[in-house]
Amino acid sequence: MHTEQELLKLWANDEKRREFIKNYKEWGIWFTVPVLDLTFFKYDLPGGSMVIAMEYLREPYLSERNNGNGESFASAKFYLQRGKHFNPFSSSDHEMAGWLKDLKESLSKEQRQRDKHCKKCGSRCLRYKPDGSITCTACLAPVQ
């Protein structure tokens, strides 16, 4: 698992987000279903959601991809589990990268909020009011 700071770097742009998804084997095996030749990998995301990769063997067929030798090859489908229950509809790497982009933006916003401090006294002890304003609890100065 990565820290939020590491994830922000890992998901810096669309290419890096797709690379993160493509390298699903680095997430570690979650469980296998040997009778079906299925291997599941998962990555727990901040906020309680998770990305699941289901790797399966594709039936052999003659093509340039496998040099016409008719051997099975591994392929993967990806799932995004946002809630408590599994959603059996797979997502494309484009959809997954979009979800990670939104999550990255949310994490960045939270990080900026945590990094706020009082410019007058330097304190990080801030009070967020219902009207949206922020005041320093140490010197009571408004914080921008």
Reported as a single tens digit per residue, the pLDDT across 69-127 is 667 788 899 998 888 888 788 888 788 888 889 888 888 877 766 666 667 776 766 67
Q: Is the pLDDT of residue 35 over 90?
A: yes
Our CA angle for 112, 23, 19, nearest 5°, is 55
| Residue at token pair 């009082």 | 118
* 82 vs 60, higher pLDDT: 82
What is the rounded average pLDDT of the residues 9-34?
92
Give the pLDDT confidence score for residue 118 in this predicted structure. 65
Contact 121, 139 (CB under 8 A): yes
- Sign of the Cα pseudo-torsion (90, 13, 144, 46, in order): positive
pTM of the complete model beyond 0.75? no
CA distance 17 to 61: 31
Give 4-42 as a DSSP string: HHHHHHHTSSHHHHHHHHHTGGGG-EEEEEGGGTEEEEE
* 47 vs 114, higher pLDDT: 47
Per-residue tokens: 14: 């669309």
Q: Is the pLDDT of residue 140 over 90?
A: no
Query: Where do the domains of the chain lie?
Result: 4-115
Q: Mean pLDDT across the chain, nearest whole number?
A: 81
Give the pLDDT confidence score for residue 114 in this predicted structure. 64
- AA identity, residue 55: E
* 114 vs 11, higher pLDDT: 11
Q: What percent of the chain has pLDDT over 90?
A: 26
